[in-house]
Amino acid sequence: MKLSSRTILGVLFLYCVLVLGDPFSTQHTKQDTTSFTTFGIAFAETTNKHQQDLATQIKTLHKSGEFDKALEISERALKSDPVDLEAYDARWRLIAKMFSEADAKKRIVSEIEALLQAHPEIPEILNAAHWGYMLLPGRAKNISDSFFDKMLQYPKTELHLLALLGLASRSEDASQKWHYYQRVTDEFTASDVPELSWYLLAYEEMLWLAEEDRSLVGDDTLDKLIDRYLKAHLVYCQNTQQGLVWAYVVAVESRLKHNNGLDKALKILERAEIRLGEEEEQTWIKRGKGSVEEARKDISRLRAEIYLRQEQWKEAYDGLLANAPDFSESLWKRFNERAINYFWMLGQAAERIGEWETARRYYADAHFAPKPHVEARAGLERVYHQIVQAETADTFETFLKDTEAKYRIREAANLEKFRQEFITNRLNKKATDFRLETLEGETYSLSAMAGKVVLLDVGASWCGPCNISIPEVKTIYKHFSKNDDVVIWGINDGETPEQVRKSLDEHQQPWPVLLDRNQQLRKAYQFKGIPFFIVIDKAGNWQYSFLGSHLVNGQPLIWMVEALLSD
């Protein structure tokens, strides 16, 4: 089971929905409106088949890229009687996508105000208006204090919870953010909140704020906060039938991060091990595509990290070494921040038990990595004083150069292993042809690129990982800038020209970006997520693909393109 080092994926996803907005789904609207049925209001989105069909039509046309037609039929939402809040939501999402930020804000705000004037401000209406405001740039900053006050009039409801979270997210002051998140944790319990991930979000954000500014909270309060977080997280895992070990591990990671209650953290790991031996836990882990063995390794590894903090050096070294992740599994796993920190911990433990050459190696892995650990050089200097200075007249700089040379030899062998794994696994599928236009109306077709290696970068402006990967694609573009046999295109997945233009202005991609408004490539190449990279050989065959933003210095895509160039 792969367990998070900082956050819960479910919490992060729902946070993105809360703060960024989901580009297509209206699932949150259904959940929020139906949660207020205790008020005795029966709205059309749950009772009227015709109006449900209107929202579905808008969303279907929206997703297929028929924006103008979707906008035309969405006008019916404004005249619906009874009011069709699901169709309103679908219309506002469409407007937010079709128009400039200023025009979208003008249209949506005016329609929200008309909705509020025409209907009583009961929870369902307030909830729909809230999500309409959240579609606009600035999100919660679009919502007035008076509107939040109206939402806060319904205690122990999701409306009240969303108001507190919105007030926290728009605040620029850390202590004020803390105040609103604390209200969430004080005014709600896990049993009060149908959407428990939003409740967990408050704990997660408070722990993050404490990490940034420890003056916000004392040790005793932080200790109680992590305990309450664990309790709520266990309820979440129980309700969703996810492994409870997940919650235990996240709580221990929080205690390690804040250096708080490490003895208590050891007891939590004991509870995790007991739970891991239960059949129900193993079933839940496997159902989530996790591994019981990996969960055991995570528990042992965390125990070793606690021993390191407690200066039990031998126990720490043995545990870290025995349960180290497989850093040869991928480029990203070897070079990400977590891996670099792990190398540093191994170096520290080895140094303290007098394993000088082992410490030298792991400190070198941490220091000469693309993003070096800030304390690794100091570790190398301490090792130098132990094993070199007493025997030779070499300086530390000479020692450092020799250590780096040995590191580069090891890494060259590792990188060659990675390269061979990537370039030998070809797909050998005929690439589907397409014709798409740029913002300027220039037409590009894949079939016209015969004889060239083509790299397609499929993404969208709303996709955070897509934006993260842009600097890496720029590295690739620069690497092949003088090679006329390599073509790099960006493919925008289903957005409007206005959205694409804004993204280009922000990121300044030097390669052509083609508009795939009807998502032709998604259908043809059957990918489920973005960014998605497609590499096509000179004969027009799809040979490689890569999903996600986990690129390192342009690799493995540079290797893939070079392999096809050499054919």
Give per-residue pLDDT as tens, 221-236: 999 999 999 999 999 9
Q: How confident is the model at residue 24 (pLDDT cuts 50, 70, 90)?
A: very low
Q: How confident is the model at residue 498 (pLDDT cuts 50, 70, 90)?
A: confident
Least confident of 6-10, 109-113, 340-344, 381-385: 6-10
Q: What angle do CA 297, 338, 173 make, to 5 degrees?
A: 120
Per-domain residue ranges for the chain? 22-134, 324-423, 429-565
Considering only CA atoms, which of 9, 6, 8 is closest in space to residue 256? 6
Burial 306-316 (b: 16+ CB within 10 A, else e): bbbeeeebebb
For the record, the structure tokens of 228 come out as 């309450």
pLDDT at 36 over 70: no
In sequence order, what are the beta bridge partners of 541? Answer: 430
CA distance linking residue 87 with residue 85, whole number of Å: 5
**pTM: predicted TM-score of the whole model, two decimal places:** 0.79
pLDDT at 320 over 60: yes
Q: How confident is the model at residue 258 (pLDDT cuts 50, 70, 90)?
A: very high
CA distance linking residue 165 with residue 148, whole number of Å: 10
CA distance linking residue 117 with residue 136, whole number of Å: 20
Instruction: Specify the pLDDT at position 32.
Output: 36
Instruction: Specify the pLDDT at position 17.
Output: 37
CA distance linking residue 106 with residue 303, whole number of Å: 55
Phi–psi pair at 391, nearest 5 degrees = -105, -30
CA distance linking residue 201 with residue 187, whole number of Å: 14
Over residues 233-254, mean pLDDT? 95
Q: How confident is the model at residue 40 (pLDDT cuts 50, 70, 90)?
A: very low
Percent of the chain with pLDDT over 90: 74
Phi–psi pair at 372, nearest 5 degrees = -65, 150
Question: Over 143-164, what HEC string results?
Answer: CCHHHHHHHCCCCCCHHHHHHH
* Reported CATH class of domain 429-565: alpha beta
For the record, the structure tokens of 513 come out as 């970006």
CA distance linking residue 123 with residue 151, whole number of Å: 8
CA distance linking residue 420 with residue 32, whole number of Å: 50
User: Which residues have CB under 8 Å from 416's CB, separation 6+?
Assistant: none
Helix (H) or strand (E) holding 102: helix 101-118
Q: Are 101 and 133 in contact (CB under 8 A)?
A: no
